[in-house]
Amino acid sequence: MYSGDVLKRLRYRYLPGHLIGEILTKRWIDNAIPFLTLIIVSAVFGMLIPGFFSANALGDLGRQFAEFGLIVLGLTIVMISGGIDLSVASVFTLSVLLSLIGVNIEGWPVLLTAAMVLAVGAACGAINGYLVGYLRLRAFLTTLVTLIIFRSIYDIVFLKMSTAIIASSSDSDLWAYIGNGSVLGAPASLIVTVVIAIAWHVVLSRMRPGWRLTAVGGARRSAYNAGIKVRRTVFLAYVWSSLLSALAGFMFAARIGSTGADTGVGLEVSALTAAVLGGNSLGGGRGSVAKAVMGALLVLIISDGLTNFGVSGPINSTVLGCVLILAVFVDMRWLRNRDKWLSKVYVSPAYLALPPLPSAYNAASPYALNNKLRSVEIIGLGQIEGPEDVILDRDDNLYCGTRLGDIVRFFGPDHQRHEVFAHIGGHPLGMAFDRVGNLLVCIGGMGLYAVAPDKTVTKLTDETNRSLFSVVDDSRLRLADDVDVAPDGRVYFSEATVRYEQEEWATDALESRGNGRMICYDPRTGATRTIIHKIVFANGVCMSKDGCSFFFAESWTCSIKRYYFDGPKRGSVEPLIANLPGYPDNINRASDGNYWAALLGMRTPALDLALTMPEFRRRMARRVAPELWLYPNINTGCVIKFDENGRILESLWDLGGENHPMITSMREHKGYLYLGGVSNNRIGRYKIDGADPTWTAQDDYWGKPS
């Protein structure tokens, strides 16, 4: 133990560094930068400008936001669909003019005017949508042209009507209420916008039209191939954008009651700035209502603040332009680097000090080296790939999983012929027979499955209860590993790690943190619950013969533990074997009342040392390619036998791993030991001297068939 290691151990126990990586995987992390900026900008202006947070100022901000937010929301919708709508400002201005003409000059009912304005807005959007969506014109140029056209119409009409607009006014209460009324202190128009925003949030994040919109923006071709009506989706996005702008114009007209030559000039730039500043991607496919809202607030606060300081309009626009460029830059960097940063910080090794390595070179040790496994018979050479676990039924048929997603059955007693017993799709790992002969199997990436003797496949469970304080939803089973059945029928199985997929198990070894868990599935209720947390790579499970406890292997700590699910010690975990020379995998019963355990690989002094130096491993993960990382030495494996009290009785080796480079499981059956290995292309069969030639695990678990 080195000085400083105590501190290091405490730091790694109590500061969960892996959470940084997990937080980065959350989708909402995109909002972090705009959100922080919003808080900082609000705080700065709040301090510099007296009365910035007064009710009056906030109310004013709310009304401005009601209109501006709608425009930004519309633009965001178009941006999510992969386009851009520059004409929002022109549609807005046109709507202001139409509303004033309708209500103030012609004296039409307010609601009728609103309907008319919205209809005109929708029509403008339909023009954009038809040109961009159906005729496939470029969004940028098309909406630039319609921006000019709509603006020109405004200019022509405004010129003729300007005197009338200035002279006229309306005495409609509703009109005044929309413009300046409040509900419980909140501006009426703000309420309208908030309702629309929430509705759109639900649509975008929870409903099919929103998902389709995102799909079209994210990958147009894939969306088309998936059967989404791409053109109509794009068309509708533009219609909605203009509709929302038109509504904003209507509310603006109600509030201000007049319009001028410069109304809405440069508004499209502000809206675009807001949308991008909030984190909506210009490339499409990435955006949300929350981002639009934050962006709109940011732009409003900045421009209002600058106006408060007496900064003139053109300079204000210049500042916003600069902010837009900065936002585009940050957005680009974030988008490009997020996955890179994530991959760099996700792997977060922990501190793990293993006891001194027991010597296997000492002839008196129970681990004393031998070559007993060098001469095992080989079954199915080259016919199977990756038999992680093997199991035999009462009729001597041999079952194993393969990485092709099959469960292969070799017919007894000679195991020369084989068939695909069941195809499930994922790599089958641990297996066990229940009382009636169903084959329960853990499948990496899928969960716990059962195969009946008639070959029907049933999914038993693929999720458990979510951990209380987990950042990432860990309810789905990622790497169900080994399984065994209690006398009462409850199924206990291990999940090796919740942070990595099966192919990345070595990265979990690099972390050596308690990422695994033990889970119980109760077939009587169908419920699945996690019973033990924070296991450092939960691996093999085997029922003890006492009927109220099971053994489980904790691979990276090189230990085997015992859990009591019944009896006086119910719910407690006891260490059984603490310091193995290798990494334990599956555990199974032996005919003499003891237990077999496979060591999938051997400890090496260099890795043991690295386990006490998490920073070293973290840097290694960042700098060195995974193929060159320091790994557990899985090129040599061995089988050990231990008794109920954890005493090691004997060990079986194949030095140099010539016949069986790695051993992940072994199963005793009628005097032979059958060996499986997750990266092997064969099954081994070893004759056990003096073993009971009639013993089968089925009889031992469930009694002889009557």
Partner 1 sequence: MGKAVVIAVFRRAYAAFRGFDDETGSVPMMDGPLRPNALLDAMPVVLTLPDVDNLSAWRDGLMCSSGREAFRLVRSKDSLAIAERHVFEGPVSCLAAERGGGLAVGLDGQGVIVVEGPHAGRKISEVGGQPLSCPTAALFDGPDRLVIANGAASVTTADWKRDLMEHGASGAVWDVDLARAEAAPALLAGGLAFPSGLALAPNGGLFVSEAWRHQIVRIEGRIVDAPPRALVRDLPGYPGRISPRRAGGFWLAMFAPRNQLVEFVLREHEYRRRMIDNIDPAYWIAPALSSGASFLEPIQGGARKKLNRLKPWSPSWSYGLVARCDAAMRPIASFHSRADGRVHGVTSCCELEGAFYAAAKGSGIVVAMDIAGAEGETPA
State the residues that interact with partner 1 by CB under 8 A. Answer: 2, 344, 357, 385, 506, 602-607, 609-610, 613, 616, 619-620, 622-631, 633-636, 655-657, 661-662, 679-682
Q: Shortest distance, CB of residue 427 to partner 1, whole angstroms?
A: 14
Cis peptide before 413 (omega within 30 of 0): yes
In terms of CB distance, is 247 or 509 closer to partner 1? 509
Per-residue DSSP letter, 555:
G
CA 292 to chain centre: 23
448, 431 contact by CB (below 8 A): no
In terms of CB distance, is 187 or 581 closer to partner 1? 581
In terms of CB distance, is 3 or 56 closer to partner 1? 3
Per-residue DSSP letter, 633:
B
CA 390 to chain centre: 33
Question: Hey, which residues does 564 pair with through a beta bridge?
Answer: 549
Determine which helix (DSSP H) or strand (DSSP E) holds 300, and give its type and residue range.
helix 289-308
Q: Shortest distance, CB of residue 415 to partner 1, whole angstroms?
A: 18
Q: Shortest distance, CB of residue 609 to partner 1, whole angstroms?
A: 6
Nearest alpha carbon to residue 509 among 666, 352, 644, 377: 352
In terms of CB distance, is 667 or 682 closer to partner 1? 682
In terms of CB distance, is 630 or 688 closer to partner 1? 630
How buried is 208 (Cβ within 10 angstroms: 0-12 exposed, 13-18 middle, 19+ buried)?
exposed
Q: Shortest distance, CB of residue 638 to partner 1, whole angstroms?
A: 9
* Sequence-ordered strand ranges (E) for 557-605: 559-564, 573-577, 582-589, 595-602
For residue 616, what are the contacts with CB-CB under 8 A and spacing of at least 6? 610
In terms of CB distance, is 629 or 702 closer to partner 1? 629
Q: Shortest distance, CB of residue 626 to partner 1, whole angstroms?
A: 6
In terms of CB distance, is 631 or 702 closer to partner 1? 631
In terms of CB distance, is 209 or 656 closer to partner 1? 656
Q: Shortest distance, CB of residue 340 to partner 1, whole angstroms?
A: 10
How far is it, in rounded angstroms, from Cα 490 to Cα 522? 5
Q: Shortest distance, CB of residue 285 to partner 1, whole angstroms?
A: 29
605, 356 contact by CB (below 8 A): no
How far is it, in rounded angstroms, from Cα 155 to Cα 168? 19
Largest Cα span, the chain: 112
Q: Shortest distance, CB of residue 13 to partner 1, whole angstroms?
A: 20
Q: Shortest distance, CB of residue 373 to partner 1, whole angstroms?
A: 13
Q: In what order do the strands lie in the sheet with 457-461?
A: 428-433, 439-443, 447-451, 457-461
Q: Shortest distance, CB of residue 553 to partner 1, whole angstroms?
A: 19
In terms of CB distance, is 361 or 469 closer to partner 1? 361
How far is it, in rounded angstroms, from Cα 65 to Cα 165? 25
675, 688 contact by CB (below 8 A): no
Q: Shortest distance, CB of residue 389 to partner 1, whole angstroms?
A: 17
Q: Shortest distance, CB of residue 513 to partner 1, whole angstroms?
A: 19
For residue 640, what are the contacts with CB-CB under 8 A and spacing of at least 6? 366, 367, 580, 596, 597, 599, 648, 649, 650, 651, 652
Q: Is 21 left (phi over 0), alpha (psi -120 to 50) or beta?
A: alpha
In terms of CB distance, is 2 or 469 closer to partner 1? 2
In terms of CB distance, is 143 or 507 closer to partner 1? 507
Nearest alpha carbon to residue 680 among 444, 400, 409, 386: 386
Q: What is the DSSP string of 516-539?
A: EEEEEEETTTTEEEEEEEEESSEE
In terms of CB distance, is 431 or 638 closer to partner 1? 638
Rg (CA), the chain: 34
In terms of CB distance, is 129 or 637 closer to partner 1? 637
667, 392 contact by CB (below 8 A): yes
Q: Shortest distance, CB of residue 426 to partner 1, whole angstroms?
A: 19
